[in-house]
Structure 1
Amino acid sequence: MPIKLNRSKLAATAVALLALSACDNQQKVYEQNDVVIHNIDKSVKPGDDFFKYANGTWLKEHPIPAAYSAWSIFNMVQEDLRNKMRKINEDAMKANAAKGTNTQKIGDFYYSGMDTATIEKLGLSPLKEQLARIDAIKDTKSLVDAFATLLTIGVNTPIGAYAGQDERNSEKMMLQLYQTGIGLPNRDYYLKNDEHTAAVRNDYQQKHLPALFNFLGNNNEAAKKAAQQTYAIEKFLADSSRTLQDLRDPYHNYNKMPLASLSKLSPLVDWKATFDKAYYEKVDSVIVGQPEYLRAVNAALTKFSLDDWKNYLRKNLLEEFSPYLNKAVADENFRFYGTVISGKKEQLPRWKRVLDVEEAVMGEVLGQIFVKEYFPEKTKKRYEEMVEAVRTSFKDHIDKLDWMSPATKKRAYEKLAKVYPKVGYPDHWRNYSGLEIDKHKYVQNIMNSAQFDRKFNASKLGKPVDRTEWGMTPQTYNAYYNPSNNEIVLPAAIFTIPGTADDKIDDAVVYGYGAASTIGHEITHGFDDEGRQFDEKGNLKPWWTPQDSAKFATRADMLVKQFNGYKVNDLHVNGKATLGENIADLGGIVIGLDAFKKTKQYKEGKTINGLTPVQRYFLGYALGWLGHSRKETLSNQILTDVHSPNFLRVNGPFSDVPEFYEAFGVKKGDKMWIDPDKRVKIW
């Protein structure tokens, strides 16, 4: 009697075997393309310095190249992008494209920047028209007119202005004024007396400024005198500028007023005429960030002579365009800003510098080409789905908060639900048809770009807010949260892990690298000490109960104290200035981890190269901050940046996460140990 075959059972068995084989194959792919295992330094105890444990071998094998102030995963991505952009530009130069096309603009801009013979021959002549305008200043009115005109080509003047969303009415674009006008990185460089800051300040006064005035045709004595006059103006403005931490208070830096009130702050400035010359027409009211600064500008207009101001503007004009002028001028700019401030030993090759400038000039033109070739739809879909996984995890965290009232939770849910994600690249590309590019005029191309951008910015006044606009190009290795739009913007390049295709990296690493340090981080910015003050529509408006605000502040203050305790190059980290980023780091880690716990990889619990899924998650996060910086760069970062140094963005928040202790067996006595009752938990 023939045996009857159970075909459905056989088919099911075959499918199961195929699935098992596919899983095994995928496991092998992950093992062979493991982007974290080879970076580990097993000589370092995870609980003493997890950053060095996770990245130490890479750090030893990759010293900082002479042309860089730091060497990190950012630089590796950037190098890959530059190589891709170089080919795009070289192809454009050969294309003989019609004038006005994007290809013509790409090719001619690149040619103009690489044509060092013409640049050297021209010397300072590209600045001739603007220098003549400064020479012609005869009174306060013409001085302020020069401020406005120079502003349109990107030159630093005492008047800083841009059109941006009204923080209390996010549907409206308003002209906003802010403190500016100084040449050193920020006001602390004029006021602090630590060794690094004092050395930078001394070089600026005694070497850099006199050198610029020498280039402008002054003899040594006249150059020294002009340098002293210019520094005196900058110091006066710095004295009335706010600190890094004070600039993070949105209410304190929001002062809306009609032009009549603005004129009371600075009566020597004809504000309507000034705005008109800077392309901001029909302005009847403004938002002033720092009113005391504008009072100082008004006082400076009478305190310092016209000759002092002319020298100040000549120096600012030359400083702005120094990197694009002849070799002697560009070398001095690099010596001070590259070496003295950042510790770089040599300049980047010319082609890399030109590409970096082109990125700033017309990055979206390049971005259109970049995403077609290097960001496939399946990758975009992976991260769009990850955004929603992180959003769900964040909602779960709000549900479980024991310190937040139901009333505030309800509003938090509403805000979270309306966070708008922009992933990869814009839906609509910017139109560059109005930008003129000439293959023989490098500096003029950059001036044209600045004017093009200024007019574009000014055109936003009186129009509906364009919520589709991006503030970064797709090939930017960065991301941001915009509180006025309640949006997260995640460029394609931010998800890149150099040398490895996205589909060959396991979820554990990707969730640490992308969901925690990027997606979760940016969403948490909407709920950090600054972002939480904006409602679901992007308006600066109280929506927390006073009691909940107080509880949040208590927890945030614990994080301030934690980071105040970290020291870098004898400088303490500024826990208040870095608070928003530190909250976002901690929030991103814990929210991203709980999102990862819902994945198949976490539930199966299989190891890859001896590492558990949770261990790989933490290593993936640490990979996002892989890198090291020169001493000078770290000191500058402590003084000027709201971000903590990379190693503290790993070790700092990990010390507050219980799962980190469990995953790596961290015990009391290990250097990263914090007693449970002192660990920070906000979101």
Structure 2
Amino acid sequence: MSHKPQTLLLSLAVAAALAGCAKQDAAAPADADATKPASASTTELPPTAAFAIADLDTSKNACTDLSDFVNGKWLAAHPVPDDRTTWGSFEMLDERSEAASRNIAEAAANDASASGLAKLVGDFYATGMDEAAINAAGIAPLQPMLDRIDALKTPADIAQYLRDEFAAGRGEVFSFGAEADFKNSSQEIGYAFQDGLSLPERAYYLEDGKDGSYRKIREAYVAHASKQLQNAGVAAADADQQAKDVLAFETRLAKASLSPIDLRDPDNQYNFVSVADADKASPNFPWSEFMKANGLSVEGFSLSQPEFFAEFDRMLADVPVAQWQAYLRIHAIDGMAPYLSDKFADERFDFFGKTMRGQKEQKPRWKRVLDATEGNVGEALGQIYVKQYFPAESKVAMEKLVDNLRASLKARLENLDWMSEDTKAKAIEKWNSFTPKVGYPDKWRSWDGLATTRDGYVQNVLAAAKFNHDWQMGKIGKPVDRTEWGMTPQTVNAYYNPLQNEIVFPAAILQPPFFDPEADPALNYGGVGAVIGHEMLHGYDDQGSQFDAKGNLANWWQDSDTKGFEARTGKLVKQFDDYRSIDDLPVKGELTLGENIADLGGLTVAYDALQKALADAGKSPDEKIDGYTQDQRFFINWATVWRRNFNPEELKVRLNTDPHAPANFRAIGAPSNMPAFATAFQCKAGDAMVRPDDKRVVIW
């Protein structure tokens, strides 16, 4: 299936995306759609990840390792569940989201007369849960696609197939979608982006890895591809050869692909060309024909990684048609496997879930179907969700916190001693143009025209893929809709979009340990306050700082300030490079730099905001609750947010691909640079959580 290009928006969230939920029994937002399903189930939601004093391991020293002191005991008692690859604060809230969304989906599925949003959700969920019908259908729903692949004879046939697949909402080799123009952020353009690999990133194809781990994964992938092809009716000997051809094909794509670190550079995400020039550079894949097939009439687009697309064009000419067919065949099968009979879904899980990420058991069907419903009609479900599960008062309280954090950040910017007045004025200009979004969209997306039925799961998935693709294409060439959200309300996460200079906080994150209206200020400022600060500071990290107040990719820095900034961020790269994770593998400081800048700056401005809030309320930061001061509770809850266990396989993948450092390092990284932390816990010079003056990182 085709996906939106992996531009900056996708890398500036607070955590890897997880579905989530907020509190129950809330009043509906005044502008929410009146459509709702039949009476919801009364299934009780799982607990939140709220901080509890009993979780602290007082045998450990916060000055040695804050994460161990706050989370060590809890993590030892809460291993990763068999149907997950990670477990911690975010995942516990994800469980709440799934339970709430299941209530909504089951109510809709049980209402045969449902209409509007409820019908969309109910049709997806009901057909996905009909395991008997899905297994009885076998390969049949995919057969027309496989027959089309079998009939390919020439490079021109392959190019036409790719165009048609993209137009249907599917696509291979690269991704294509709509995003704001990096140089004119008020307008949407098309972005073509490298893609097409089954393994996490290029290194898995080109290196052996520690103890041959990458080589073993490649061997397992070939075995998986062969098995999946055999499931689709290919003879064993032919399947084995085709699987080897697929690996060779993807290895060639990998050689032309940029690494995750290289992709963090905005200049490697944007390369605007005219369609006419793109046609000249790509004789085997005329982009004018691609645009026409996708209903587009545009002068140009971003051909974001030109070397990758040059290799793609060469491959159309010199890779044998049979090898192309093998590649397209396995990608068609694996792409649709979650919606096909058990043998396809199980085989896909055995490799991508069990082998790659160490997940012991596949999720139960209801969770998998819910994932598909979220992926295809997530905002439709979200519109119902906020009516049933989001307290209106939480939005008001969150908006107040955002205002407090904005004031704290402004004070920091104004008092910087290393930045020139000219650059500082531009930084304040950007601060003035921040747009916060809280809870849910002010304007909901329309789903008019998406026809779903109770006749078949794959049928609904394909209909939604086409509908969502056409929606994406419909935005290209038009002004950006600044009311649009990049996450659903039921997602436990938050993000910063540099192209719109906006900070976005879905409803689902507004619960413990992030936010609790009954909690003392320290917990809220150390939780969601630090998240608010984190997202704002993305506007000034190594990526966000390259975008101006209007969201355009433009240099607003004096050269001397750029050098000062890079000297400071270089120390942060070194700090995280020095951290060692599983099997002594390093955390990649360059890959995680943006998130680490945001963590450090976000926690710093959240601490400042807490001090002001306490002073305004006439409270002392030394006042103790459960034996800990407000300053101590602030840092304790920060670490609670980053409470997370990983399966070894999952952790290794994330070390290579995730722009977020592993959670335990996020818990200690920022506080160890803050004198306020050392003061709060009476740490001394030489303690592990007190970085020496020459290594301490101070940026914003």
User: TM-score normalised to the size of structure 2?
Assistant: 0.90
Aligned match of 1:236: 252
Q: Residue 188 in 1 paired to residue 203 in 2?
A: yes
1:41–1:55 CA contact under 8 A, matched in 2? yes
Counterparts of 1:193 and 1:653, CA distance in 2: 34
Of the candidates 667, 676, 681, which is equivalent to residue 693 of structure 2? 676
Would the alpha carbon gap of residues 280 and 197 (structure 1) be closer, same or farther in structure 2, given more than 3 Å must change? farther
Q: Residue 464 in 1 paired to residue 479 in 2?
A: yes
- Partner of 2:310, secondary structure, is helix
Of the candidates 525, 528, 536, which is equivalent to residue 511 of structure 1? 525
Aligned match of 1:613: 630
Of the candidates 555, 566, 590, which is equivalent to residue 568 of structure 2? 555
Within a 5 Å distance, the mapping from 1:130-529 to structure 2 comes to 130-194=145-209, 195=211, 196-205=213-222, 207-277=223-293, 279-497=294-512, 502-516=516-530, 518-529=531-542
CA deviation vs aligned residue, 1:213-265 (integer Å, no higher than 9, x gap): 11121222111110111111100010010011111111243211111221233
Shift of 1:152: 4.0
Would the alpha carbon gap of residues 506 and 152 (structure 1) be closer, same or farther in structure 2, given more than 3 Å must change? farther
Counterparts of 2:351 and 2:168, CA distance in 1: 23
Of the candidates 649, 667, 670, which is equivalent to residue 650 of structure 1? 667
Within a 5 Å distance, the mapping from 1:555-594 to structure 2 comes to 555-569=568-582, 570-594=584-608
**Number of corresponding residues:** 646
2:50–2:512 CA contact under 8 A, matched in 1? no
Counterparts of 2:595 and 2:515, CA distance in 1: 29
Q: Which runs of 5+ in 1 are unaligned?
A: 1-32
Of the candidates 57, 70, 79, which is equivalent to residue 63 of structure 1? 79
Letter matched to residue 523 of structure 2:
V
Within a 5 Å distance, the mapping from 1:33-44 to structure 2 comes to 35-44=51-60
CA deviation vs aligned residue, 1:406-434 (integer Å, no higher than 9, x gap): 10111111101111000010001111122
- Partner of 2:186, secondary structure, is strand
Letter matched to residue 246 of structure 2:
T
- Partner of 1:475, secondary structure, is coil
- Partner of 2:496, secondary structure, is strand
Would the alpha carbon gap of residues 85 and 585 (structure 1) be closer, same or farther in structure 2, given more than 3 Å must change? same
Letter matched to residue 597 of structure 1:
Q
Counterparts of 1:294 and 1:602, CA distance in 2: 61
Aligned match of 1:46: 62
Counterparts of 1:494 and 1:280, CA distance in 2: 38
Counterparts of 2:67 and 2:281, CA distance in 1: 49
Would the alpha carbon gap of residues 155 and 459 (structure 1) be closer, same or farther in structure 2, given more than 3 Å must change? closer
Shift of 1:501: 8.4
Counterparts of 2:248 and 2:540, CA distance in 1: 41
Counterparts of 1:597 and 1:246, CA distance in 2: 39
Aligned match of 1:9: none
Larger Rg: 1
Aligned match of 1:534: 547
Would the alpha carbon gap of residues 608 and 413 (structure 1) be closer, same or farther in structure 2, given more than 3 Å must change? same
1:602–1:613 CA contact under 8 A, matched in 2? no
CA deviation vs aligned residue, 1:580-636 (integer Å, no higher than 9, x gap): 011001111101110111113683332110110011111111121122111111100
Shift of 1:96: 2.3
1:156–1:320 CA contact under 8 A, matched in 2? no
Would the alpha carbon gap of residues 628 and 34 (structure 1) be closer, same or farther in structure 2, given more than 3 Å must change? closer
Counterparts of 1:286 and 1:34, CA distance in 2: 46
Would the alpha carbon gap of residues 264 and 603 (structure 1) be closer, same or farther in structure 2, given more than 3 Å must change? farther
2:278–2:286 CA contact under 8 A, matched in 1? no
Moved more, 595-604 or 627-636: 595-604
Counterparts of 1:34 and 1:282, CA distance in 2: 52
Counterparts of 1:501 and 1:374, CA distance in 2: 15
Shift of 1:197: 2.5
Counterparts of 1:520 and 1:501, CA distance in 2: 14
Counterparts of 1:34 and 1:251, CA distance in 2: 41
CA deviation vs aligned residue, 1:128-185 (integer Å, no higher than 9, x gap): 2211221222221220121122234554512321111100100111111111111111
Letter matched to residue 507 of structure 1:
P
Shift of 1:671: 2.8
2:170–2:465 CA contact under 8 A, matched in 1? no
Letter matched to residue 534 of structure 2:
H
1:156–1:180 CA contact under 8 A, matched in 2? no
Aligned match of 1:30: none
Would the alpha carbon gap of residues 78 and 307 (structure 1) be closer, same or farther in structure 2, given more than 3 Å must change? same
CA deviation vs aligned residue, 1:316-343 (integer Å, no higher than 9, x gap): 0101111121111111111111111111
CA deviation vs aligned residue, 1:395-454 (integer Å, no higher than 9, x gap): 111122111001011111110111100001000111112212122311121111111111
Counterparts of 1:334 and 1:252, CA distance in 2: 32
Letter matched to residue 79 of structure 1:
E
Q: Which runs of 5+ in 2 are unaligned?
A: 1-48
Letter matched to residue 562 of structure 1:
Q
Within a 5 Å distance, the mapping from 1:87-102 to structure 2 comes to 87-98=103-114, 101-102=116-117
Shift of 1:280: 4.2
Q: Residue 628 in 1 paired to residue 645 in 2?
A: yes
Counterparts of 2:311 and 2:52, CA distance in 1: 52
1:477–1:494 CA contact under 8 A, matched in 2? yes
Counterparts of 1:433 and 1:68, CA distance in 2: 35
Counterparts of 1:265 and 1:44, CA distance in 2: 61
User: TM-score normalised to the size of structure 1?
Assistant: 0.92
Would the alpha carbon gap of residues 34 and 69 (structure 1) be closer, same or farther in structure 2, given more than 3 Å must change? closer
Aligned match of 1:22: none
2:494–2:503 CA contact under 8 A, matched in 1? yes
1:173–1:460 CA contact under 8 A, matched in 2? yes
Would the alpha carbon gap of residues 266 and 393 (structure 1) be closer, same or farther in structure 2, given more than 3 Å must change? same
Counterparts of 2:478 and 2:359, CA distance in 1: 44
Moved more, 266-275 or 538-547: 266-275
Counterparts of 2:682 and 2:467, CA distance in 1: 56
Counterparts of 2:50 and 2:191, CA distance in 1: 48
Letter matched to residue 385 of structure 1:
K
1:265–1:294 CA contact under 8 A, matched in 2? no
Counterparts of 2:124 and 2:399, CA distance in 1: 35
Moved more, 212-221 or 610-619: 212-221
Shift of 1:475: 0.6
Letter matched to residue 88 of structure 1:
I
Letter matched to residue 577 of structure 1:
L
1:172–1:465 CA contact under 8 A, matched in 2? yes
1:36–1:54 CA contact under 8 A, matched in 2? no
